[in-house]
Structure 1
Amino acid sequence: MNKPQILFVEDDTAVGNLIATTLETQNYQFQRAKNGQQAVLDALSCRPDVMLLDLGLPDIDGIEIIKKIRSWSNMPIIVVSARSDDRDKVAALDAGADDYLTKPFSVDELLARLRVALRRVRYDSQRTGDEAAVYRNGGLVIDYAAGCAYRDGQELHLTPIEYKLLCLLAKHTGKVLTHNYIISEIWGTASENMSTELPSLRVFMATLRKKLEPDQSHPQYIQTHIGVGYRMIQSNRDSEG
């Protein structure tokens, strides 16, 4: 297998050097861009596996870069930014980012987020038409053709909304989905009416987790990002089949 190729976009010298050293010590291949224009060109020419993206660049705002790349590529984009407001996180994730890491960050957390993104890349590349009909993530199995879901071999008795929520999260495993995105996908609600559906989303998510998570204090599958949304966690005990 070829080594993963990482493109990181960072104009701050100190942060850029930290990221470069971190990737180098982990034997990742990487390329660095210091502005948005170079980032888009490198994404087109190098076809990286994952992008690490700062939002506050000197020429183009990072949100615009996400939108440009999403018009032709589905590669994971992890935002690494000093912007910590929930509105900035939601804007980046709604634009198509997969994850959001706030500066200052720990090296261990950056590497953990990167491993999740790369597992998703490997999973997507290995799926065939037959495999795509059945989703497997640790002990969770979704049989799309039958419309059934199982945890550790036991069928989960889900309502139609719970099943749709589970399938949506599974489709984007490893990616943070914002409340707005989930509501629009499940209920087809216009953006101006999102706030009225948010309590319903929280209720359905709570009942889904009760059925899915053996120990809700230590979730194995659905992670909450407070004020932002939810993510399906990629299990470390993925089934081989």
Structure 2
Amino acid sequence: MRILVVEDDDRVARGLVTALRSASFDVHRVATAERALSAPPADVVLLDLGLPDADGIDLLRRLRERPQTAIIAVTARGEERERVRGLRAGADDYVVKPFGVAELLARIDAVLRRTRVARAEATDAAPTVDVGALTLDPGTREARMGERDLHLTRKEFDLLTLLASRSSSVVARDQILDQVWGASWEASSRTLDTHIASLRAKLGSAVRIRTVRGVGYLLDEA
């Protein structure tokens, strides 16, 4: 399993590389956004958002274009608004410095489990999911609203697919958090609300996500 560490602080990078190699990961470290984009493919990217040569969020969005790579933001930016920015840009998880090695390894394991499930579903050539004008293809991870492409982050696609697969039925918040996020960090409930708001803006008026107060969400045609 290959991990790319994108970290400009040599001391922090050395500690990460040592810990990850001790856990039997194949680790490659770079210190700049430029080198991160040209690095060999990795299963997981540990991305510091405070890089010297580029905005970390912009780099995150570019790395997110590689659908088979999981991305964990590893940063000192612990404010809620920064976490939301990172997750909306496509991070699969968000770890705030300082952190323990055991916590980081647990989060990597959780992200890899979810990635393996997604790959297995794609390999099984799961059928497309249709709700009105909305079409979701789990195999290619493409989303369309009629003739319009929907540009969704990984989490937005997973969330929308879960709701669409149970169209006209309420999906409980706890079930969404477990299946989409693995409930892997303490602010995921708040993050769910953020992702729902983002999806509503992208879906427009043809399909709607309804809030069932105290229970969860329901997707149906408007």
| TM-score (norm: length of structure 2) | 0.65
- In structure 2, what is the Cα distance between the partners aligned to 1:180 and 1:123? 24
2:197 corresponds in structure 1 to 183
Write out aligned runs for 1:16-55 (5 A).
16-42=13-39, 46-55=40-49
Following superposition, the deviation at residue 144 of structure 1 comes to 7.4
Deviation at 1:64, TM superposition (A): 0.7
Query: 1:80–1:103: 8 Å Cα contact kept in structure 2?
Result: yes
Question: What is the Cα deviation at residue 167 of structure 1?
Answer: 7.9
CA deviation profile, 1:210-238 (whole Å, cap 9, x unmatched): xxxxxxxxxxxxxxxxxxxxxxxxxxxxx
Cα deviation, 1:97-147, whole Å, max 9, x if unaligned, reads 1111000001111001000011112212222135999xxxxxxxx8976x4
Pair 1:178–1:14, CA change in 2 (3 A): farther
Q: Aligned match of 1:86 in 75, 80, 104?
A: 80
Length, aligned pairs only: 171
- Alpha carbons 1:23, 1:30 under 8 Å: kept: yes
TM-score, structure 1 length as denominator? Answer: 0.60
Task: Name the % identity.
Answer: 33
* Residue 84 of structure 2 corresponds to residue 97 of structure 1: no
Check conservation: 1:7, 1:50, Cα contact below 8 A: yes
Q: Give unpaired runs (5+ residues) of structure 1.
A: 134-141, 149-158, 191-199, 210-241
- 8 Å Cα contact 2:6/2:47 also seen in 1: yes
Show structure 2 runs of 5+ residues with no match. 130-161, 204-209, 218-222
Deviation at 1:91, TM superposition (A): 0.8
CA drift of 1:76 comes to 1.3
Q: 1:163 aligns with which of 165, 171, 178?
A: 171
Question: Using the alignment, how far apart are the partners of 1:107 and 1:121 within structure 2?
Answer: 21
User: Are the aligned partners of 1:90 and 1:178 in contact in 2 as well (CA < 8 Å)?
Assistant: no
